[in-house]
A and B are shown apart, each in its own frame.
Chain A
């Protein structure tokens, strides 16, 4: 999945930020490789937006070291700004601007020539399905459309590093899908992306690596598989029946099965004993299904979801 290179494009070392006595970030350290999508998740107030604002130089009084593309933040801010594209959580434009006008201004301010801006605008609008509203005032657009214009301004100058803070908020399912496709396409073209979202399945769909932050501290960083391996295997097999039947009760007699339950009609959960050979038990289960002439839609060995991993780390730190 990953098109990431070996070079660390973004480096944060022991970044801390205090608002008075409140510790928003506590020695946050992580790296993002060139061409990688780094998913950043955490509950409200965990420090995600603060991290992102520090990265894009909207907050400059912090402790620690940050470099982007080899340039120090905030010391070499002009060079850093040339690499950046940023979509804030609540993107807002001046009310009198049209979509075309906003993109022209932001493209020119990012250093593009007038000709390049004029070339790029139709491409970006086409990519995001905004061509029809090109000359409309942004204030007349829906929330989802404004979010897309927000992404358009972040992409207009083809930045090397893209920071997306909750980019899918307010988008309908189709737009969310298109949005994720675009993010993956950008990654494949070599962009490095920091992507934060409350919707964990969205992060799971696009991220090469995931960082979990809570109360200003990084709890864990890794690929989805690495994070999954942190949790104890659940030893649960899910059997989906084609029709409601009581024959599943017989699964209890299979060696290695601890218990069986039906949480909802047609959905059977088979709990395995610890240390058993899962493949052997699933084989026996398949044979039992054949013998009992039960028709099934699927058999799955359940693995922890990102939601469960996330809750595990967040609840762990709440308890601590």
Chain B
């Protein structure tokens, strides 16, 4: 079974990449800076935890999508995959390993940002009400769902795009738009919105990945 091997391998490559460095460190820093801007410009204190989660949702998904698409396009164009494809492994495992490793890295980076938010709120003398935790749960569900779809879109765009430029355009105009699908249950006020959010994300990500795998399986190198 090559998937676990490839997954650990990709994880090793991604977690110390420059983009991930930005996610590990830059995201919490931006979130903290954003809090002070928010305070001075509006004079209204809102839970920093929620702010962090909102920032994570928008930034992390985009970065994950761009990171995957660019990585796949580059490796494809440099013929890196040839050395993998001549070995006894399933082509889909290459894509799944990339998807899972980036998803895991970005999800952890998101959690770190949220934890920084909680700690900052607590350190600034605020108390963490149960309402904050309720909204935090929903925000995390949306955030992780958006990242899941963004990663799947990144994989698909990486496979079908001939160049990094085309890939970047597709991520901005396609990947970003489709990753807001998990917001629909909340916007439409559906009961059990969290469950629907996760379910919708799972279905959308699966469909996008299935198309990517089909395209990759039929690709001639």
Contacts and interface: CB of A to CB of B under 8 A. Distances in A.
Partners in one complex: yes
B221 A109 contact: no
Interface residues of B, number: 22
Interface residues of A, number: 28
A93 B220 CA distance: 19
Interface string A83-117: 01010101111101100010001101111000000
A93 B80 CA distance: 5
A194 to B, nearest CB: 13
A6 to B, nearest CB: 27
A88 B83 contact: yes
Interface stretch (B29-37, B85-93, B125-133): B85-93
Interface of B: 2, 5-6, 9, 12-13, 16-17, 75, 78-80, 82-89, 220-221
A61 interface: yes
B75 A94 contact: yes
A109 B7 CA distance: 12
A228 B126 CA distance: 91
Given A58-B220, A109-B2, A81 B86 contact: yes
Interface of chain B: mostly helix, strand, loop or mixed = loop
A51 interface: no
A59 B82 CA distance: 11
A92 B80 CA distance: 5
A91 B83 contact: yes
Nearest to B13: A96
A88 B2 contact: no
Nearest to B89: A109
A306 B193 CA distance: 74
Interface string A27-66: 0000000000000000000000000010011111100000
Given A53-B221, A105-B9, A86 B80 contact: no
A113 to B, nearest CB: 12
B6 to A, nearest CB: 8
B87 A109 contact: yes
A82 interface: yes
Interface in A243-261: none
Interface in A107-147: 108-111
Contact of B220 (A61, A78, A153): A61
B3 to A, nearest CB: 11
Contact of B82 (A60, A88, A96, A105): A88
A254 B122 CA distance: 109
Contacts of B83: 86, 88, 91, 93, 106, 153
B17 A96 contact: yes
Ordered nearest first, which 3 A-B pairs have the shortest CB separation?
A58-B221, A81-B88, A92-B78
Contacts of B87: 81, 84, 106, 109-110
Contacts of B16: 96
21 contacts: A53-B221, A57-B85, A57-B86, A58-B82, A58-B86, A58-B220, A58-B221, A81-B86, A81-B87, A86-B82, A86-B86, A88-B82, A90-B79, A94-B80, A96-B13, A105-B5, A105-B9, A106-B87, A109-B2, A109-B87, A110-B87
A82 B88 contact: yes
B13 A111 contact: no
